[in-house]
Amino acid sequence: MALRSVVPPIPPRLASFLSHQSAAYHVKELEASSEHISQSLSDWYLASRRKLPWRGDAEPQDGWNGSGTLDGSALNSDSKGKKASSQKSISSFFAPKPKPDPTSLATPTSPNTTTTPRAAAMTITPYHVWISEIMLQQTRVAAVIPFFTKWIARFPTVSDLASATEDDVNAHWAGLGFYRRAKHLHNGSKYIVENCKDDSGEVVFPKTVEDLLKVPGIGPYTAGAIASICYGIRTPAVDGNVLRVWSRCTTVCANVKGKYGGPWSQVLGEAIYKGCPTTVRSGVLNQAIMELGATYCQNQGSGIDASDPLKEAYGTTKIAEDIFTYLRAGGPAQDLRDLALTCKCEICCESPDSNGVLAFIEPIIDAVEKPGGTTSTLDEVKSLAHRSLPLDPPKKGKRDEILHVAVVENEKGEFLMGKRESSGLLAGQWEFPYIVVKIKLAKEGGGKEKQFTQDTFSDSNITEMLNSYLASLIGEEKINVRKKLDPPIVHVFSHVRHFMNVEVGKTDATQIVRNESEFSPPNGVTIPAHEAYEFVSKDDMKARGVTSAITKVLKMIDGGAKKTSKATKKRKNESGSESKEDSPSKKVIKNDV
């Protein structure tokens, strides 16, 4: 009689996770470990934090190579892709530092020895924290450092920012992207100057979360950051980095775009203070969590790094170890799947057809039960589990648009430009006029996107329509813009891709007529909503600030002009005179194509 193999029991910790019935499970997990987490993070941050200007540190700050230029290789990738081979390990840019006084708001650490002149440490104010937090939204730390220092030099106080012109603000933001942030800062500063004053009439920065939330552009995260860092208020500041840390500590199997990124994120943020020692400053704790999320607990963090202060607190690695042990002992994987299907957590299973717990454990099971006799080590399984949370949000396809951009220059060397309306994409930015053709690129086999070619612009009416549109702006019957260089410039936003086909021309006009009603584009072709048009010199463009897309266009035009100039000079030297065909007419710059 054959003996039955004994099926090992599912470990209690694993069983509790797989079958949890509400989001309270995650809250209790965080509350139970809050003392250990908060103290460990605080100690680690005070000893090893990065040096940054908005923390009151003198140069060189982390991310600088000592010569005044950014060294991006010193920082780790924030994307979910693999780290570039040239990037240093996380621990390589955390030099051990003396433990600062935890009672100080911003205690600059002693700079390392260097021959490079350094800027003096600045006294940090709520205004500085506000600017830095807005700049850091969706932008890497290394990219923000020079923009922050330039901004503070130009707008040192909230009153200076409030009195600035929109063009001046945009000029100092140009290159950071997501220009709506600059508009929010400008509007917020005006609100503070007009509405936040003491009894003597002096402007004072709001000092409570409630008052901070009244400022246009300040949401719960920014309000929490300012209130905790500057005023010591024990309130959470929850951003994407923090959500990643909590997801991995309490095994939240969800993406940050769903319920987890909503009210529940604030509930978990408050749970960390349940057992937080009174000696741990809230500002230090919030910055420590954000710092961890940007370094050891970034997307590609392993969860097992020896220097990670929370390596013993991650639920991801604990659950992975339980699954590994259970399966290697002969436990059936299907029992784990069946138990996961009983989960009713409103975060992990926010819809009837969505089970985040099952989505989380499947890759772990596959890694342990590799086909072909290959095996994964425990550390490999732990790292896999750690990196899989939070789950990826559903991908949304980007809308593709073809833009025919007109670069029209007059005899003064000024270019026709339009100012976008005050809301929407690139609000308030100056750009060259254009028409839009909406398209959807075909897919080749295997889902690969078809190569973008000039054939997409085969409609012979496009240039004629562009000329008619320009004539409605400056009153000339025909500008005769023509295609300049191939291939089109590709510029990607969060939800749309622009394929910019640049066309150039000359004009005698110096004044704007503006009568767009004379131009009626056909179906499928649109024109942008501009609130104003002007002829603008390149110096004025620099003063107003232009987007990176416009910078790409200018570089392409300048590069094409240099190529044409060299070719013309060569032919002139060979023949002794310049041919008529090589000389641009008064109204048309000859094509290079």
What's the first-to-final CA gap in the chain, in angstroms? 86
**What pLDDT is attached to residue 479?**
64
Q: Which residue has the higher pLDDT, 164 or 7?
A: 164
**What pLDDT is attached to residue 311?**
97
10 pLDDT higher than 80: yes
Between 376-385, 404-413, 472-481, the lowest mean confidence (pLDDT) is in: 472-481
Residues 6+ apart with CB under 8 A from 481: 406, 407, 408, 463, 466, 467, 470, 503, 504, 505
- Catalytic residue, chosen from 31, 133, 321, 503, is 133
Most confident of 215-229, 512-526, 536-550: 215-229
Cα gap 523→239, rounded to integer Å: 42
Whether 227 and 274 have beta carbons less than 8 Å apart is answered as: no
Whether 506 and 587 have beta carbons less than 8 Å apart is answered as: yes
**What pLDDT is attached to residue 258?**
85
Most confident of 83-97, 407-421, 443-457, 495-509: 407-421
* pLDDT tens-digit series, residues 331-349: 999 999 999 999 999 999 9
Q: Which residue has the higher pLDDT, 542 or 100?
A: 542
Between 94-108, 154-168, 221-235, 299-313, the lowest mean confidence (pLDDT) is in: 94-108
**What pLDDT is attached to residue 450?**
46
Cα gap 528→549, rounded to integer Å: 15
Between 231-245, 446-460, 494-508, 544-558, the lowest mean confidence (pLDDT) is in: 446-460
Output DSSP code: residue 416: E
**What pLDDT is attached to residue 496?**
80
Cα gap 44→292, rounded to integer Å: 9
At the fourth CATH level, the homologous superfamily of domain 400-442+451-582 is Nucleoside Triphosphate Pyrophosphohydrolase (3.90.79.10)
Cα gap 483→466, rounded to integer Å: 11
92 pLDDT higher than 70: no
* pLDDT tens-digit series, residues 21-69: 999 999 999 999 999 999 999 999 999 999 999 999 887 776 433 333 3
**What pLDDT is attached to residue 214?**
98
Is 409 among the catalytic positions?
A: no
* pLDDT tens-digit series, residues 171-215: 999 888 888 899 999 999 999 999 999 999 999 999 999 999 999
**What pLDDT is attached to residue 106?**
38
Neighbours of 318 (CB within 10 A): 20
What is the band of 233 on the pLDDT scale with cuts at 50, 70, 90? very high
Percent of the chain with pLDDT over 90: 48
**What pLDDT is attached to residue 96?**
40
**What pLDDT is attached to residue 427?**
75
Between 79-93, 137-151, 523-537, the lowest mean confidence (pLDDT) is in: 79-93
* pLDDT tens-digit series, residues 253-311: 999 988 888 888 899 999 999 999 999 999 999 999 999 999 999 999 999 999 999 99
Q: Which residue has the higher pLDDT, 133 or 404?
A: 133
What is the overall mean pLDDT for the chain?
Answer: 79
Pinpoint the residues of the chain covered by CATH 3.90.79.10: 400-442+451-582
Whether 34 and 271 have beta carbons less than 8 Å apart is answered as: yes
Alpha helices of 401-547 — where are they, by DSSP H?
461-474, 538-544
What is the band of 231 on the pLDDT scale with cuts at 50, 70, 90? very high
Whether 528 and 418 have beta carbons less than 8 Å apart is answered as: yes
